[in-house]
Amino acid sequence: MSNTTKRVFSFLLCLALFLSLSAAPATFTKPVRLRAASRPPARGQHGMVSSVSEIASQVGVDVLKRGGNAIDAAVAVGLALAVVWPSAGNLGGGGFMVIRLANGKATAIDYREMGPAAAHRNVYLDSKGEYIKESSTYGHKAAGVPGTVAGLSYALEKYGKLKWADVAEPSRKLAAEGFPVWHQLERSLKGASNGLSRYPETKRIFLRNGKPYEAGEIFKQPELAAVFARMIKEGPGEFYHGKTAQLIEAAMRRAANGGKPWMTVEDLKNYKPVEREPLRTTYRGHEIITMPPPSSGGVALIEMLNILERYDLKALGAGSSQEAHLKVEAMRRAFADRAEFLGDPDFVKVPVAGLTSRGYADKVAATIDPQRASTSEAVGHGDPAAYMSLKESEETTHFTVVDKDGNVVSNTYTLNDSYGNKITVEGAGFLLNNEMDDFAPQPGKPNFYGLIQGEANAVAARKRPLSSMTPTIVLKEGKLWFAVGSPGGPTIINTVLQVLINVIDHGMDIQRAIDWPRIHHQWMPDQITYEPYGLSPDVLNRLKEMGHKFVDRPRNMGDAEGIMIEDKTGVRLGGRDPRLDGHSVGY
C-alpha cells in the first residue's frame, strides 16, 4: 500500500469514527453546568469575620476567641476600620446594623447621621434657587451629626457581652503604635490625594504633607489614639459631650469665621441611635431580613425580589442576556419608586407596605416586556398606595460576623464619599462625613451619585438622609444560611440583589456569588453600568438589540463581604470581595 493510499485510508477511518461518535446517543442524562473559576471561601469551625481589611477582620476574630459574641466582634471591627481604612471606616460617619440572634430575635439599629439644627431645605441653594457647587460634598456644611460611636456602643450595651474598653482597646493600640500600610490603602490614599490636599490637617495626617505612605510603611495616628483613650476612660458618650465633641464644635467655629457654627456640642448631645423593626420577606421559600427606612436598600431589594420571583432565573442561566434584561427592568422600576417615595420615616410617610407587597410587584412586573427594554423616561414611579393594606415588608464599607452560637451581624457604615468631606477634626485625627449630600439638596435634580430624589428626602434639621445601604441576612428552613452587604453608593442595592440571586437561584457558594460580575441600573441616567469582562460580546450585543443603553466604559462595583453556613457541617464560609482584596478570617 502506497503512502498516499495509507493517508487516504487513515483519513476515511477517522472520518467514520467521528461520524459514529456524533450519531451516538449521549451517555449522560443530566445537563453539564459550566462554572467560572473562583477561589474557595475561607473556612472557620467556630466563627468568621469578613471585611475589607485583614487587620480589622483579625481584631474581630480575636474578640470572638476571648469569649465575645458576634455583636462584640462587630463593634471591635467597626472601630478598627476607623483606624486602618479611613476612606470609609469611621468615627465621624454613620450606618446601619442588622442583627439576628441565635434565639431567632432580629433587629435593626439605625445610627445614620442626621442634619444639624442649622440645616434647612434650601441651605445648599443660592438666591436663585440653584445648587451651590460642592456645597453638600466638600467643607464643614457637608457634614451630618455623626452616629457611628453612638450606634456601635448602643449595640454593644444591649446585645454584646463585653465592655466598651475591651472592644475599643485594639483600635487605640492600632492608632498609637501604627500598622503596616497595605496595598489597597496605599492606592486609596494616593487616588484621593487631590481632595485630601484641600485641607492642611488632612494633608498632614493622611498624605504626610505631600509624601504619601507606601505599602509596608507604618502609619501612626496619635490624635486618633487619644480619642480612643478618652472614650475608653470616660465611656463612648465622651464623643458627644466631652473633649472630642468640643474639638468638633471648635472646627466648625473656625470654618464659620465668627458666624454661627454649622454643628455644635448641642447637636452632638441630641444625637440618638434608633432601634427599628427590620423588613422581612421570602424569596423562593427563603426568609430575607434587611434594613428598613431611612435606608432605601431593604425596600428596593424586596421590590426587586418580588418582581424577579415570577421568572425562572435558574433556567435562564447566570450571565445570560435574558436574565440580565429582567434584572435591569426590575432595577429600573425599583429605583424610580425610590426616587419618589423614600425618606426618613420619622419625617415623611413612606409607603413601605405597598412598595414591598406582592400585589404591587404583580402590577409592576406586568409592565415588563420580556423581549424589549423599557425607557426610563417612560417608566416613572408606581402607585403603591393602593397596596398599603397588604402585610408582606459610593464609598462605604461593609463587614459581616458570625459567632460559634449562630449570632450574626451584617453592618454597613460610611462617610458617604471616599474620605467624606475631606476635613479632619483638628486635635482628634478623624475625618467627618459629607452625608448631607445624601439628602436631596435640590429635589428633582441628581446628587453626587447621579441619583434623582424627591421632596420626601429634602434637607431638614434633625432629619436622617436617605441611604442605599442594604445589610441583609438570609435564612433557610428557619436557620441562618448567609449574610451579606456591600459599599458602593446606589450600586449597593443591586450588588446585594445579585449576590442573593447567585446563591439562591444559581446555587453558588458565597465566594463565587461575590466574585461573579455585576450590572447596575438606577432608573436615571438610563444606562447599564457593567464590570470589565463582565458581559461577553454576544450578550452585550443582544442587550443592545433589545434597546438597552450602556455606559461608555465598564468599572468594578462594590465590595461585598459575606458569610455562609455550610450545609451538613455547619462550617462558617467567608466570602471576601476581590475588587478591594477583602479578607475573611475564621477560627
**For residues 140 and 259, is the Cβ–Cβ distance under 8 A?**
no
CA distance 292 to 283: 17
CA neighbor of 269 nearest in space, from 449, 116, 62: 116
181 Cβ contact partners less than 8 Å away, ≥ 6 residues apart: 189, 213, 214, 215, 216, 217, 218, 219
CA distance 308 to 379: 17
Per-residue HEC secondary structure of 228-292 comes to HHHHHHHCCCHHHHCHHHHHHHHHHHHHHCCCCCCCCHHHHHCCCCEEECCEEEEECCEEEEECC
36 Cβ contact partners less than 8 Å away, ≥ 6 residues apart: 512, 515, 516
Helices first, then strands: H and E counts in the chain: 20, 18
CA distance 24 to 32: 18
Sign, CA torsion 428/434/436/442: positive
**For residues 81 and 580, is the Cβ–Cβ distance under 8 A?**
no
CA neighbor of 485 nearest in space, from 557, 435, 411, 580: 411
CA distance 537 to 441: 39
446 Cβ contact partners less than 8 Å away, ≥ 6 residues apart: 452, 524
Report residue 164 as a C-alpha cell.
466598651
Q: Roughly how many angstroms between the first and final C-alpha of the chain, as a whole number?
A: 71
Report residue 412 as a C-alpha cell.
454597613
**For residues 137 and 437, is the Cβ–Cβ distance under 8 A?**
yes
Cβ-defined contacts of 525-530 (< 8 Å, 24+): 525/376, 525/450, 526/332, 526/375, 526/376, 526/377, 527/551, 528/328, 529/491, 529/554, 529/555, 529/557, 530/554
Active site residues: 396
DSSP sequence for 97-115: EEEE-TTS-EEEEEE--B-
Which ranges in 436-536 belong to alpha helices (H)? 491-504, 510-515
Phi-psi domain of 90 (left: phi exceeds 0; alpha: psi -120 through 50; beta: other):
beta
Beta strands 561-565 and 572-576, pairing class: antiparallel
- Other beta carbons less than 10 A from residue 205's beta carbon: 23
Per the DSSP assignment, residues forming a β-bridge with 245 are none
Taking the mean position of all CA atoms in its chain, how far away is CA 283? 20
Report residue 480 as a C-alpha cell.
441562618
